[in-house]
Structure 1
Amino acid sequence: MPAPLLTRCTLLCSLLLPLSGVAAELYRYVDDKGVTVLSRQGVPPEFIGKGYEVLNDQGRVLRVIPPAPTPEEFARMQADKARASSDAQLLRLYTNLDDVDRARERKLAELDAVTGVARGNLQSVRTQQANLQSQAADHERAGRQVPEHLLAQINNLKEEQKRLQRDIARYKEARTQAEAGFAADRARLAELFGEPQKKP
């Protein structure tokens, strides 16, 4: 079939398509030159991200496909989603601001308790070390060599002191973080409940 005849047939078929009883859809999009294009063939992949409209054969808009979000918009959407999830979790945990205050007091009391135990152990270890060092000094004053097991015990107690000091520092940091976390939770819940803030 000659090319001009084929073109005429294709055009005729496209014009008759709406009359055939098949619902035809048009796709309206903007190309890279800013020109609005109407097509029955769909939207080329490179333009889908810009958004497009689907029309019926009378030109009425059936569906609007919005543009893909920019990286900034996507990041904002993700942040909003994370905030909504966090808010939902807060509302499951606490029914009012007093619940936050009670949870805060419980957590801080737990951390204060373990810190107190660690400090008591540290003081005990220091006392043991002082006693052993006194024994080592007695050996030295008597002109005797300090026994190896005594030196080993002193070194072990020094290491134990370092470990306990690290534990105390960790508990202190955990307390600071807990206070900050509960303060943030309380402030957010006050916003969600529409209640004025007050210092716990």
Structure 2
Amino acid sequence: MLKKLCTAGLWLSLGMGCVPGVHADDGPGIVFYRYVDSRGVTVLDRQGVPPEYAGKGYEVLNQRGRVIQVVPPAPTADQAREAREAQAAAQAAKVQSDADAQLLHLYSSVSDVDRARTRKLAEIDALISVAHSNIQGLANQQASLQSQAADQERAGHPVPQGLIDQMSDLQDQQQNLKVDILRYQTNRQQADADFTQDRARLQQLLSQ
């Protein structure tokens, strides 16, 4: 069995020359793997390419000695990094292109952005106002219940558990509304920043 023959010896026995490139029409019969060893000698091997040489690239030849597959060398660390950076840049460009298309679809002028911003912030302000109003209403209810509890204590009676539960529930509702207000305020700041960014980007796109 032939194993690790040099290229020149094989071509002398086959009477053929090396044909570069991959030839899909040469048939599926794979016999040899061709690679360069540590001494710089070109080797042909039926068993495959040793791991220490596979990363340097190799060729696969069929039984007629034609190259049917070329495996390129593994990229260097710098090449791999450059490839990752190029891929990331291409992805970022695609994302920006899609965002620009969406922006142009939504707005035809900067004034459209301004009007949308005004509407959105007004909606959030209305939610904040309603939450504040609800907190005040709950606080009034709680004050009334606390007054009833004080009357019970002054009369020497224990405060009914139902009354205590109502006051606790009102306090929980107020706390939840305060959390909602903080969330609305955060959303308002983010919306304002988003509209500012959209406005600046639309100006750039419309001026191109």
Fold in common (TM above 0.5)? yes
Question: Does 1:10 pair with 2:16?
Answer: yes
The separation in 2 between residues aligned to 1:182 and 1:94, in whole angstroms, is 11
Unaligned runs of 5+ in 2: 1-8, 20-54, 58-65
Deviation at 1:49, TM superposition (A): 6.9
Match of 1:79 among 92, 102, 111: 92
Q: TM-score, normalised by structure 1?
A: 0.68
Query: Percent identity over the alignment?
Result: 44
C-alpha distance in structure 2 between counterparts of 1:94 and 1:49, whole Å: 45
User: Stretches of 4+ moved more than 6 A in 1?
Assistant: none
Partner residue of 1:44 out of 70, 74, 78: 70
SS, match of residue 70 in structure 1:
helix
CA–CA distance in 1 between the matches of 2:11 and 2:96? 61
Instruction: Give the deviation of 1:44 after TM superposition.
Output: 2.2
SS at match of 1:92: helix
Equivalent of 1:102 in 101, 107, 115: 115
Letter in 1 for 2:71: P
How many residue pairs are counted as aligned between the two chains? 154
Q: Is the 8 A contact 2:56 2:74 kept in 1?
A: no
Match for residue 37 of structure 2?
none
**Residue 6 and residue 133 in structure 1: after superposition, are their counterparts in 2 closer, same or farther (change >3 A)?**
same
Note the alpha carbon deviations across 1:63-117, whole angstroms, 9 max, x for none.
xxxx996111111111111001100100000001000000001101111111111
Structure 1: runs of 5 or more not aligned: 15-30, 34-39, 51-66, 196-200
Residue 181 of structure 1 is aligned with which of 175, 183, 194? 194
Corresponding residue number in structure 2 for 1:154: 167
1:89 to 59, 79, 102: 102
Cα deviation code 1:139-169 (max 9, x no counterpart):
1111110011110100000000011111111
Letter in 2 for 1:96: S
